[in-house]
Amino acid sequence: RKNRREGEADKERLPVSLWNPKTGLVSWNQSYVFPCRSLECSTVCYFQEFVEECPEAKEALLKLNVGQIHSIAITIHPVSFERMTQECRNVHDTDHMKKKMLGIED
């Protein structure tokens, strides 16, 4: 991988919804949104990269990732969830993350 500045996107791997084509950087409006988008991106990118190398593991890896997302999501108090930014809610939404990992657009 080539060296990039912090926040700089690898547009070939980053989901289009997270990449700002004007700057070549991961786009965010508020600095606290970046960790959630970064987590979403890394989860999706690692899943897709692993599946590319080992397609027969796709279903098992998908179940593992969705299971981990669900396990964390059920520990979040509903009030805390409501206070999260949409980007952070997305990371805890199993349906959203499953679609992202499978490359299905909303």
Q: Tens of pLDDT along 10-28?
A: 545 555 555 556 665 554 4
Which tokens sit at 81? 């969830």
* DSSP per position, 2-30: ----TTB--TTTS-GGGEETTTTEE--SS
> What are the sequence ranges of the domains in the chain?
32-102
- Tell me: the pLDDT tens digits for 88-97? 999 999 999 9
Q: Tell me, what's the pLDDT at 42?
A: 92
54: pLDDT strictly greater than 80: yes
Pairwise CA distance, residues 80 & 4, whole Å: 34
